[in-house]
Chain A
Amino acid sequence: MGLFTFKGGIHPYDGKDLSKDKAIVDYLPKGDCVYPLSQHIGAPAVPLVKKGDRVLVGQKIGEAQGFVSANIHSGVSGTVKTIEPRMTVNGTKVNSIVIENDGLFEEVDFKQNVRPLDEMYREDVKDAIKEAGIVGMGGAGFPTHVKLSPKNEDAIDTIIVNGAECEPYLTSDYRRMIEEPEKIVTGLQIVINLFDHAKGIIAIEDNKPDAIEKLKGLTENIPNITVNAVKTKYPQGAERQLIYANTGRQINSSMLPADAGCIVHNIDTIVAIYNAIIEGRPLFERIVTVTGDAVHETANFCVRLGTNAQELIDAVGGFNIEDPGKIISGGPMMGKAMFSLDVPLVKGSSALLCFQEDMVSAVEPSNCIRCGRCVEVCPGRVMPNKLADMALHGDYDGFVKCDGMECCECGCCSFVCPAKRHLTQIIAGTRKQILANRKR
């Protein structure tokens, strides 16, 4: 034992061997880049450029609107072709800036953004993070500067870097930890220093011993940073479960990590903070894992945001079958099924996962046999079978009373159900409906 963990969870086939030994390769886009003005939680950004303008790599092209919003920067140099609604990964059209890539990758002078760290006040650091357009890069896209400005800053005592990477198939965080661990440590130190009483924890699943060793070695002489090996189990990297595993503190769905004295960042976000503060580079690239049994080669690409998803598939030599059954943006547990590859990669795109066959449509749901597996694995400690029944009967009051709102939509219940019921889908849909009703 001695391992940090939580109750419940599952052990799916992790598929990481497919891509974990592929070093990060820079991928420079060939075609146009598309920048949806809403890639984050909060108000969409407004364009700072107009049709015909020339832009450089790293130039701010979208301005945050209000505090909960994020700036957007170009990843290529070229001319603004148009600003129009374009299809995104979510399957919705979002107003986007389209840039005709001139292939020169001419950069703005990043050095002018850099100031010696010891001359920067905490507010300056947060402003620089906001200016760089950094958002949580695990998928949800919550603006990072908002996370770093909790109501009660004195209560923050733990900054957790989420290196669990518990989603099967994803290897981008792992590669970062292996290849650029210094950036992670420095990035974390920058965040720790924003608070009076904070210490840092880097939490890594114990299936990545080399990453643990690397970061342990680097932080040996840093007293306020510890590296915790957490048990390999999905969803170890879910925010609430990770906080509990590392601090023993629990929060529910109506609380924020800050209510447990914690702030959680994922690896790519911490590296983005490093890039912004130390190198003056705003967020315009990220690591995307291309993997699955339907691609010729797998890869971990460092891509410019705005790159067309199809380009990455072409870069690995295309598909190995004519019609892949399913393509997912992100991991198999919480990622989104894509209906078109003609969409841009955005701040929250962690992977393109391509399956030859779709496992979900291959099976048909049958009656619940009350086996209890869903209850056993649910990290939210709710009863998915009961919640799904209530949801299907429209019993929203019962659903709320049985803590249905505590579901974090991790997918464990659907994964284990032998009757192949779509529990997560039903529960998640009902949660959304209830939240929408409350707003009305």
Chain B
Amino acid sequence: MEQTMKISSSPHIRDKETTTNIMGKVLVALMPATIFGIYNFGVRALALIVITVVSCVIFEAAFQKMTGRKVTVGDLSAVLTGLLLALNLPPSVPFWLPVIGSFFAIIVVKQLFGGLGQNFMNPALGARCFLLISFTGRMTTFTYDAVTMATPLANLKAGEHVDVKAMFLGTTAGTIGETCALALIIGGIFLIVTGVINYRIPVWYIGSFALFIMIYAVASGRGFDVSFLLAHLFGGGLMLGAFFMATDYVTSPITPLGKVYFGILLGLLTFLFRIFGGSAEGVSYAIILGNLLVPLIERITVPKSFGKGAVKHE
């Protein structure tokens, strides 16, 4: 008996939550948006999602095998990266494009920096931006019901009327997963309620962005234009970005206060890019830029340790 008793230092119990569980929950949270995307854009969207997920997993496993590391695709993080990347693609891109995107996400952004937890940029977003720069035309052509058309956000920028209700429900042009604000909000709430993500980043991101938009609306003479605000909130990648990309553990601040700063920073950057930038979209670039500033944000938001600076009680 003496030999079978395990010795280790305390604590001797562990919470049930594991990395795999967490990734699984995020995948579940993305299901409403994924299913809606397939419903909205058809089997082509489904095919793109499968190709992206499968190639992400294969690239990760192959890289880890070739470099003699432990193969960790079982933790589902590559599956998640693949799904997020697919949801960020227009439904009309050719099938080889997500394979290139997956390579960039997994090999360049994630594995070359040391694998899970080491990358400084969100792999899915890094790949999306890479694709946007390399294949601008293909990545910015949106078709809806077999007709090529502009996204609502581009219409908004051009000063045209947009249908806010359709944007909320997602029956518009856009990338596979971003159009349905409703589905994304449901998923986001699920993540917050189950404790997978903290409310701070999405709330401060969306909140500060809304505030900047309203200030702009009033200052630019539109007045207190609620439908302009709602169109900005439901349009483009904001909901997908705020709930699922900005909250990526690895590339967002770990400190509670840092999450607040990060959210506000993203709100400001997204506002600037969307209103003053060349394209209608701004979420991806805002988050990527924000990712780069995370080490700095963390450095200035280190929590004060318990009892620091305490004075003796006389």
Q: Does B304 count as interface, using CB distance less than 8 angstroms? A: yes
Q: Give the docked Cα–Cα distance between A429 and B9 (Å).
A: 10
Known A323-B4, A358-B6, A418-B17: A372·B313 in contact at CB below 8 Å: no
Please indicate which of the listed interface residues A363, A371, A380 has the most CB atoms of chain B within 10 Å of its own CB. A371
B216-258 at interface with A (beta carbon < 8 Å):
249-250, 252, 254-256
Cross-chain contact B249 with A370 (CB below 8 angstroms): yes
Cross-chain contact A383 with B13 (CB below 8 angstroms): no
Distance from B280 Cβ to chain A, minimum over Cβ atoms (Å): 32
Cross-chain contact B9 with A250 (CB below 8 angstroms): no
Distance from A331 Cβ to chain B, minimum over Cβ atoms (Å): 8
Cross-chain contact A420 with B14 (CB below 8 angstroms): yes
Q: Which among A152, A251, A328 is the interface contact of B314 at CB below 8 angstroms?
A: A152
B1-45 at interface with A (beta carbon < 8 Å):
1-2, 4-15, 17-19, 21-22
Cross-chain contact B11 with A339 (CB below 8 angstroms): no
Distance from A196 Cβ to chain B, minimum over Cβ atoms (Å): 14
Q: Give the docked Cα–Cα distance between A241 and B314 (Å).
A: 20
Q: Give the docked Cα–Cα distance between A116 and B270 (Å).
A: 78
Distance from A344 Cβ to chain B, minimum over Cβ atoms (Å): 17
Q: Does A406 count as interface, using CB distance less than 8 angstroms? A: yes
Cross-chain contact A339 with B256 (CB below 8 angstroms): no
Q: Does B158 count as interface, using CB distance less than 8 angstroms? A: no
Cross-chain contact A424 with B11 (CB below 8 angstroms): yes
Q: Give the docked Cα–Cα distance between A172 and B1 (Å).
A: 27
Cross-chain contact B5 with A332 (CB below 8 angstroms): no
B149-168 at interface with A (beta carbon < 8 Å):
none
Please indicate which of the listed interface residues A367, A380, A414 has the most CB atoms of chain B within 10 Å of its own CB. A367
A348-373 at interface with B (beta carbon < 8 Å):
353, 355, 358-361, 363, 366-373
Known A338-B5, A403-B305: A411·B10 in contact at CB below 8 Å: yes
Binds B, one of A50-58, A127-135, A255-263, A275-283: A255-263
> Looking across the interface, which residue of chain B has its beta carbon closest to that of A330?
B10
Please indicate which of the listed interface residues B8, B12, B19, B307 has the most CB atoms of chain A within 10 Å of its own CB. B12
Cross-chain contact A406 with B306 (CB below 8 angstroms): yes
Q: Give the docked Cα–Cα distance between A356 and B34 (Å).
A: 43
Cross-chain contact A251 with B310 (CB below 8 angstroms): yes
Q: Which among B2, B15, B306 is the interface contact of A339 at CB below 8 angstroms?
A: B2
Q: Does B64 count as interface, using CB distance less than 8 angstroms? A: no
Q: Does A182 count as interface, using CB distance less than 8 angstroms? A: no
Cross-chain contact B254 with A416 (CB below 8 angstroms): no
Cross-chain contact B11 with A255 (CB below 8 angstroms): no
Distance from A100 Cβ to chain B, minimum over Cβ atoms (Å): 25
Q: Please name all residues of chain A whose beta carbon is closer than 8 Å to the beta carbon of B116 when the two chains form the complex.
A: 366-367, 369
